[in-house]
Structure 1
């Protein structure tokens, strides 16, 4: 999957044939690792997410992009959560221009696509080896999975809908199922959140759903289309599914090895600790190493099918006392700390760089968990996040244990204007 862009451009320059339609090919590589970045479709509206659009995705630094999110309708079909942004917006950089003389009926040739998906179509022509997937569900749109998975008829309807979408948009390479979470019921948190409905039958029905989707792809000569899942890294949620059974139907499993700690907890901790610090008595065995080993060693999932997660955002707490070490770690706190992405100290990674150098903030590193944290003794605020050093540790861990790569939440958190340093580090460390 390695892209030798510089070699290709040199050859094209010599040949004198660089044009606006140049295909940027992906050269072969011995690496089987993946760098999967999530693209938040709503980020176009959010300053905290840099008003991100598809053309801002670091296409030469990833192997896969997951479009977040589609949802499941009441009749068990998938649909966009934002039709305008995904299919109608004509203001994106590569949107087709109307030619009423050539196309008198509509102004556009048949098959023209606008919105984010029009941009995907364009970039797929430039980066044909980058896989584009539609991610279904997520935290706010998992409400219909329980019913959709409950009968074979419903499962088949959903799977056929996925096939129909990929037939309509053949540049889409697969589906990412992000059911958060099987067996669990929770109420809606705000006007954007649909909550989730669950029951004990979800444990096996999740496996059956993935089996039906895979078989339906194959029946429609879509053996090359990918089926992936994003799953919890928490043991209590993992045991509510059957990784040893469902793993055979998916191309890889994205283990969300982040959100181990956040403002919902009453004690500070690490957002994405690589290892468990035994002083963290609030979250025993809630770390990347324990999660990945649980899938690999207990459920016998092949290591190359397991992708760890990297967060390009922070979590935080307010009203945190220094504690015995003066750094606020593993101390009581609350979520009354608003960042540029929301409550609970949520900042994009590119903003954290500025906070690191802001007055009053001190940076620390947990030598056991291998992750950084920031504490401000004046404001009593605490932040946990990923930095380049912890990312290097994460990449080394993946390589040393022959895991399949990284999923990244999300693309908008990187420093878009200054070379995508985090995605670059991921790509160089895993793919090159």
Structure 2
């Protein structure tokens, strides 16, 4: 009996230790292929987020029209890569049984259906049912990540402006309904826990529109999109993913984002800090920060694995924001250097946060993921 008790206590201690291990997560963009999953070594990540599941029905993208033909309103749009990735994730779990895999729903271009389905109890119920059915059919996944960009204002991402002052309440209700649905699926599955997370814009402007303190009660984790603070949509060139804001009045940094969420009542233990596996570039940059155009492409994005190939540019560290950039020839490319990532890991640990995650794994050469290790 004594041996059984000791064994039970050891098991409980082991479980508690596993629960407190810092999170190292990464999104995986389906369009970039399954090779990043197949090549991932055990123990490198705790969480993987497959992006994206898209939604049929009102607000669906034009690209999903054919796949959604004849499908129920607010169901998950079917695509072959979902089954391909589900099988790859199951193989990964054979190599790495502790890894958690979440299906991320929405994204910048795929969020419009949320504005419609979340607005009614019937719409929410329908979406929850189809989401649970999808998870039941794809056992390689351990839960859902809701990437609604953004309650209150979609930025006319598909040319149609959506958003109302009621979206914040609908957001909370949707998460409550999803939590109940996932818990029911867990009971059906013999006590398995299905995670529910969100990816959110952490600015004060956005948080006014969504009561994150209440929302967090339904969530396992909050993935903080602490990147894209600068880009073609901003007037000035700047590092898009700094640890600290350039001015105290700005909330364009991880440090400010943490303060924003904490003020809203989100527990630090549920916050996951965002890391970028890509840079944002600008051309024709003037001393005042204004610039002529994004560079080297329309959205100014540069994969981290390509940063060293930028010719005529040198790495520059900005002490004020604790961030790195490649600078030269009138160009500026802000990015997360491994040293900046290690500083973010240290910040997250000091603040009692859950850990760090990155967008997006195929853009890394292994250095950023290495720097994310606790």
- Given the two structures, how large is their TM-score scaled by the length of structure 2? 0.86
Cα-Cα RMSD:
2.1
Q: Does 1:39 align with 2:22?
A: no
2:85 maps to which of 113, 116, 140: 116
Q: Does 1:72 align with 2:55?
A: yes
Deviation by residue 1:180-221 (Cα, 9 ceiling, x = unmatched): 000114334xxxx57662211101000000000001122333
The structure with the greater share of residues assigned to helix is: 2
Deviation by residue 1:92-129 (Cα, 9 ceiling, x = unmatched): xxxxxxxxxxxxxxxxxxxxxxx222211221222221
1:404 maps to which of 321, 334, 354: 354
Q: Report 1:15-164 matches (<5 A).
A: 29=18, 31-44=20-33, 52-74=35-57, 75-80=73-78, 83-87=79-83, 115-164=84-133
* SS of corresponding position for 1:374: strand
Contact 2:227 2:241 in 1 (8 A): yes
Stretches of structure 1 that go unaligned for 5 or more consecutive residues are: 1-25, 45-50, 88-114, 324-329
Match of 1:290 in 2: 256
Equivalents in 2 of 1:273, 1:399: separation in Å? 17
- Sort the Cα spacing of 1:336 and 1:257 in 2 relative to 1 into closer, same or farther, 3 A: closer
Contact 1:227 1:250 in 2 (8 A): yes
Match of 1:213 in 2: 178
Contact 1:317 1:334 in 2 (8 A): yes
Contact 1:310 1:407 in 2 (8 A): yes
Cα deviation for residue 295 of structure 1 reads 0.8
Equivalents in 1 of 2:361, 2:90: separation in Å? 18
Contact 1:141 1:195 in 2 (8 A): no
Equivalents in 2 of 1:263, 1:175: separation in Å? 30
- Sort the Cα spacing of 1:195 and 1:119 in 2 relative to 1 into closer, same or farther, 3 A: farther
Cα deviation for residue 77 of structure 1 reads 1.4
Equivalents in 2 of 1:213, 1:254: separation in Å? 17
Equivalents in 2 of 1:63, 1:165: separation in Å? 22
* SS of corresponding position for 1:332: coil
Contact 1:143 1:194 in 2 (8 A): no
Deviation by residue 1:367-409 (Cα, 9 ceiling, x = unmatched): 0210011211x3x211100001111111110111111111210
Match of 1:335 in 2: 293
Stretches of structure 2 that go unaligned for 5 or more consecutive residues are: 1-14, 58-72
Equivalents in 1 of 2:160, 2:304: separation in Å? 27
Contact 2:55 2:113 in 1 (8 A): yes
Higher mean displacement: 164-173 or 52-61:
52-61
- Sort the Cα spacing of 1:306 and 1:27 in 2 relative to 1 into closer, same or farther, 3 A: closer
Q: Does 1:421 align with 2:367?
A: yes
* Count of aligned positions: 341
Match of 1:364 in 2: 316
Deviation by residue 1:270-294 (Cα, 9 ceiling, x = unmatched): 211111122x98xx22211111111
* SS of corresponding position for 1:227: strand
Equivalents in 2 of 1:195, 1:348: separation in Å? 30
Higher Rg: 1
Match of 1:381 in 2: 331
Equivalents in 1 of 2:80, 2:185: separation in Å? 29
Runs of at least 4 residues off by over 6 Å: none
